[in-house]
Structure 1
Amino acid sequence: MASTDKPADPETGKEVLPSKASCDDTPPPPKAVDLFAVDVALRFLVFAASLTSVLVIVTSKQTVFQGPIPFEAKFENSPAFIYFIVALSVAGLYSILTTLASLSVIWKPIFSTKLLLHFAFWDVLILGLVASATGTAGGVAYIGYKGNEHVQWNKVCSIFDEYCKHIAGSLASSLFASVLLVLLVWLSTFSLHKKIPK
């Protein structure tokens, strides 16, 4: 059985207390990673990309004449493009609200852990919404660009060239917003992981 007696100094016979250095051998806990400034910048970029995407597709009207008959291409003619606009508008509104929430955490960091958890959940949801809308609109745009000879769907981008350029620019901007949302999910998850005590 181990003795609980404290060691004694052989010269004086008095008890020797362990040195402070031997008690503090454990390293200090790591500092929590605070990346809310990066979070604010990414969320602002999501807002800018979403707004750009919506504005570009809304202004994508073009009228061409084949003989005396006018043909008009506009986003309202496709349910996929309407869904795309709604989804990107929701993402833009969400990014404004979460940018303000991130700024409030920079000023008062007491709720940072709870907010990071909410961000992780909601960012995944908005990412799914934006990615599905981008894929849906991209599928319709691809048929417009390439056509489908198996079902006799003609390509229309050779006729409505300006309209198709607007659609392509809008899709590129929404794809950029999707990538930013992926980075936000990773950032929130990484920040939460660093707050877990080891």
Structure 2
Amino acid sequence: MKRDQDTLKNAHKKYIRAHALFRLLAGVATLAAALVMGFNKETSIIAGYEFVVTYNRYPAFEFFLAGNAIACGYSMVSLPFVSNLVEGYILGVLDLLSLVLATAAASAGTAIGHLGKEGNDEVGWPQVCSFFEKFCQRAAISLVCSYVGILLFLIICALSSVYKTRQSNKGRILGPQPTATTKE
């Protein structure tokens, strides 16, 4: 019985460490995505006119930056509380919300990035990446960082789900646990 308890404690400690590591990495990835996009700026002279392109010229990129910044902030703020909140469900729900927010932000950024790279002849939107190559390359790097963060949030949610399932099925799998009885 003592050996089983030690095994469970070690498994719990490993789970907490893995959870904290993935949370830290997700925070770093979404921070990198937000910073790269936030400092992304390029100036180009086209037909004698100077054009400056930054993330805040596109609402989708603004949402991308804000979504990644919020996901990063949540990941970092919740990091010290992982060992205390891992037993409850609130952390799992907030992790899922961060995953959804980061996914929506990356989707918006990907859509406008694709439009900038390919253009849309039907509505008269030209390709802009041929004029602003560095901006588009940095935006692509930012998107990759964001998708890495999404993958890490997905792993966090999967770990939480597996952990909760094992906790709730523990009694059913092991059967009723013997209780200490005293003779009267």
Structure-1-length-normalised TM-score: 0.78
Distance 2:139 2:25 in 1: 20
Structure 2 partner of 1:162:
134
The one-letter amino acid paired with 1:159 is: F
Distance 1:52 1:112 in 2: 26
Alignment of 1:119 with 2:96, yes or no, is no
The one-letter amino acid paired with 2:73 is: L
Distance 1:145 1:96 in 2: 33
Alignment of 1:98 with 2:81, yes or no, is no
Distance 2:22 2:41 in 1: 31
Structure 2 partner of 1:54:
34
Distance 2:32 2:92 in 1: 24
Structure 2 partner of 1:65:
45
SS in 1 for 2:52: strand
Structure 2 partner of 1:78:
58
Alignment of 1:45 with 2:19, yes or no, is no
Runs of 5+ unmatched residues, structure 2: 173-184
- Percent identity, please: 23
Q: CA deviation at 1:144?
A: 0.2
Q: CA deviation at 1:67?
A: 4.1
Distance 1:124 1:154 in 2: 37
The one-letter amino acid paired with 1:50 is: T
Map 1:169-180 onto structure 2 (within 5 A): 169-180=141-152
* Structure 1 stretches of 4+ moved >4 Å: none
Structure 1 partner of 2:111:
139
Alignment of 1:31 with 2:5, yes or no, is no
- Judging changes above 3 Å, is the alpha-carbon distance between structure 1 residues 101 and 64 closer, same or farther for their aligned structure 2 residues? same
Equivalenced residues, count: 164
Residue deviations 1:110-155, cap 9 Å, x none? x6412xx222111111111110010011100000001111222100
Computing the radius of gyration from Cα coordinates, the structure with the larger value is 1
Distance 1:87 1:131 in 2: 9
RMSD of equivalent CA atoms: 1.9
